[in-house]
Structure 1
Amino acid sequence: MAQQSPTAVVHGIGACLPPRVVSNDEVTRRGVLETTDQWIRSRTGIARRRQADEGVSTGDLAVAAGRAAEASARCRADLVLVATTTPDRRCPATAPEVAHRLGLGPVPAFDLAAVCSGFVYGVAVATALIKSGVCERPLVIGAETYSTIVDPLDRDTAVIFGDGAGAVLLRPGHTGEAGAVIAVDLGSDGAGSDLIAIAAGGSRRPDTSARLDRGTRYFRMQGREVYGQAVRRMAESSQAVLDRAGWQPESVGAFIGHQANQRILDSVADRIGIPAAYRHGNIRDVGNTAAASIPLALADTARHTAVRPGARSLLTAFGGGLTWGSIALRWPEARSLNRDPEIRTAETTPRSARRKQPWKLSTTTS
């Protein structure tokens, strides 16, 4: 019997999608873009996406997804990590308020910025924190409202991105368990930092919004170059993490890649050698949700019990920075809720809801 080592285990899964569905036809009409529903589907695999209503923030989606993950795990988090490109404010971080609204008290809470790789980076960080004894039940949330930073007149981005949040609650365990994180691979290349970026708004170019033109105040992506980088980096990282886990590609029973584009996902899986039957995702219905992409696909797949608990699974992502990362994971036993959680804004969340949860508080991690 193989020796088992301490690691983090996925104990709960949650997701939150805004109720508003935006079809390809609506996107093309809204932005007066020279494209069609057929073109978008053939180039990206996307048919529709979700969009947050005005006044609904990234933090609001993160709270709903986090609450759903806690309900799935039936225990409370003791650390909150929010991976996002679209924080509620540039300062302070979104995570502390999310923790407060979840009623978690003075737990550690911080944001992580790795764009579309953020969730993978977040799980890697949370796993290390568990192993070092800093926490026992970290809540990792990928949450985005890309509708607030995408230019509706830019065909390269307007047809791709959607809003949403996904979350996992981790606990200490060992590598033989379902849900166990087996191996992690992370990487970056700052030489490509301009390929996926918002040019202005930071300390390098701190212009006020009144002085910014469309090209600098909105999210921009150099699609052709990003495509090649994404396929190569995710394929290489996936192979690296499989090597660390000691797994052969043919032994992988579930593959979830960052849902940037269906053609990218298929190209990566083809390079690794993952059959189509083991590729899972919901890009057709939610689009590219950046840091929320992988946990939303994870929750959707778990909700439909499409993978046997304990099956060897591969998660991989690529994002701005440039950043990328992969995780070798045993498929978790955790199931996401069969309903979408209620979304409440910070202004409408009752104080009582911040203190109470619909289950008995657990002080154990089992």
Structure 2
Amino acid sequence: MSDIRVKIDGVAMAAPDKVLTNKDLEKIVDTSDEWIRTRTGMVERRISDEHTAASDIVLKACEKLFKKSSLRTRDIDLIIVATVTPDHAFPSTACILQTKLGIPHCPAFDISAGCTGFIYAITIAKQFIENGAATNALVVGVELLTKITNWTDRNTCVLFGDGAGAALITQAHKGEISEIIDTYISSDGRYGDLLIMRGGGSRNPTSKETVEKNMHTLYMEGNKIFKIAVKSMGDAAVKILERNGFTGEDLDWLIPHQANLRIIDATAKRIRLLPQKVIINIEKYGNTSSASIPLAFAEAIDDGRIRRGDLIVLDAFGAGLTWGSVLLRY
């Protein structure tokens, strides 16, 4: 086991300026503000324009991040981008971001783990640093889900928004309290078809037919996903706490993936955590997939809720199906 300890140095976020409210959605599909609020907890979400790509919005988050940190871009020796909405199929968005930040000659790659992507990325970065293969990692969660949303499907188009979050994962110095204590990730591909974008890959290459069949937009079986998400996120939170000798009562904060307010509430109840200890911003941004945890994390740091030394669990569930959790002291 490595003697190297790893910490989160800082987190920053960015989101598009354009806001799409529930009232706006009432004009697009057969829905209502009341229906959306009661079933999801969402009030509005951010929408990127047609010229904005994933690397554009995450660049803004990274610029904020480096302004807050003593680290400079030249110190970065690993870049991991978690996304299901990359700029292109290839090259990776991580390589594009690397160029925009002027960071030469370091590993840069994307991962696809749906809404659990940020937790997967933290896990990978932690292992790189513990193994001595990296010292300072830039870990990103970014999604422009509104670009793959079916705006005629009232059950899914109300859910998703765009945003980005970035974190610096570094070695913790001797005597520092900050530390990523443990991570846990898992998946079960048997349920992959419940949350999928079928078009555009080698299984269904882009064609006139795939476009006409709306195969390039997100498909989700919401009721089935809801049940699995509630169990999986609850299990992940319990597992990371129990194997490190903690309970929900020890936590300062839970930062869950912002998928649905009912899922968030169920997860908090599972670990017996008071509602006021749960970081929630779903009402402002909707479901931003891999960006949702760093978005919420960054906002809570910026407004003073999260402080150095706080004990925190990050918890997520997503396409794959994937799930995972991180236990850390910020």
Same fold (TM over 0.5): yes
Q: Secondary structure at the match of 1:12?
A: strand
Q: Displacement, 1:175?
A: 9.3
Q: TM-score, normalised by structure 2?
A: 0.95
Question: What is the distance in 2 between the residues matched to 1:217 and 1:168?
Answer: 30
2:12 corresponding residue in structure 1? 14
Q: Displacement, 1:244?
A: 2.4
Q: Displacement, 1:214?
A: 3.8
Q: Secondary structure at the match of 1:216?
A: coil
Question: What is the distance in 2 between the residues matched to 1:203 and 1:211?
Answer: 12
Q: Could you tell me whether the CA contact under 8 Å between 1:175 and 1:182 is conserved in 2?
A: no
1:187 corresponding residue in structure 2? 186
1:127 corresponding residue in structure 2? 126
Question: What is the distance in 2 between the residues matched to 1:38 and 1:15?
Answer: 29
Question: What is the distance in 2 between the residues matched to 1:327 and 1:310?
Answer: 15
2:240 corresponding residue in structure 1? 241
* Number of residue equivalences: 326
CA deviations 1:5-60 (Å, max 9, x no partner) are 5321111211111111111111231x3x1110111111111100101112000111
What is the letter of the counterpart of residue 216 of structure 1? Answer: M
Q: Displacement, 1:307?
A: 2.7
Q: Could you tell me whether the CA contact under 8 Å between 1:209 and 1:217 is conserved in 2?
A: no
Q: Could you tell me whether the CA contact under 8 Å between 1:13 and 1:73 is conserved in 2?
A: no
Task: State how 1:244-263 maps to structure 2 within 5 Å.
Answer: 244-263=243-262
Q: Could you tell me whether the CA contact under 8 Å between 1:80 and 1:107 is conserved in 2?
A: yes
Q: Could you tell me whether the CA contact under 8 Å between 2:301 and 2:307 is conserved in 1?
A: no
1:54 corresponding residue in structure 2? 50
Pair 1:175–1:181, CA change in 2 (3 A): farther
1:173 aligns with 2:172: yes
Structure 2: 5+ residue stretches without partners: none
Q: Bigger CA drift: 305-314 or 224-233? A: 305-314
Question: What is the distance in 2 between the residues matched to 1:55 and 1:46?
Answer: 26
Q: TM-score, normalised by structure 1?
A: 0.86
1:23 aligns with 2:17: no
Q: Could you tell me whether the CA contact under 8 Å between 1:152 and 1:158 is conserved in 2?
A: yes
1:355 corresponding residue in structure 2? none
Question: What is the distance in 1 between the residues matched to 2:302 and 2:102?
Answer: 26
1:358 corresponding residue in structure 2? none
CA deviations 1:112-162 (Å, max 9, x no partner) are 100100000000000001101111110001001011100011122110100
Q: Secondary structure at the match of 2:16?
A: coil
1:145 corresponding residue in structure 2? 144
Question: What is the distance in 2 between the residues matched to 1:234 and 1:175?
Answer: 33
Instruction: Give aligned-pair identity as a percent.
Output: 37
2:31 corresponding residue in structure 1? 35
What is the letter of the counterpart of residue 35 of structure 1? Answer: T
1:328 corresponding residue in structure 2? 327
Q: Secondary structure at the match of 2:326?
A: strand
Q: Could you tell me whether the CA contact under 8 Å between 1:84 and 1:143 is conserved in 2?
A: yes
Question: What is the distance in 2 between the residues matched to 1:209 and 1:149?
Answer: 17
Pair 1:245–1:215, CA change in 2 (3 A): same
Q: Bigger CA drift: 172-181 or 137-146? A: 172-181
Q: Bigger CA drift: 62-71 or 175-184? A: 175-184
1:307 corresponding residue in structure 2? 306
Q: Secondary structure at the match of 2:215?
A: helix
1:216 corresponding residue in structure 2? 215
What is the letter of the counterpart of residue 65 of structure 1? Answer: A
Q: Could you tell me whether the CA contact under 8 Å between 2:210 and 2:216 is conserved in 1?
A: no
Q: Could you tell me whether the CA contact under 8 Å between 1:9 and 1:177 is conserved in 2?
A: no
Structure 1: 5+ residue stretches without partners: 332-366
Deviant stretches of 4+, over 4 Å: none
1:336 corresponding residue in structure 2? none
1:103 corresponding residue in structure 2? 102
RMSD: 1.6
Question: What is the distance in 2 between the residues matched to 1:106 and 1:281?
Answer: 38
Pair 1:209–1:105, CA change in 2 (3 A): farther
Q: Could you tell me whether the CA contact under 8 Å between 1:254 and 1:314 is conserved in 2?
A: yes
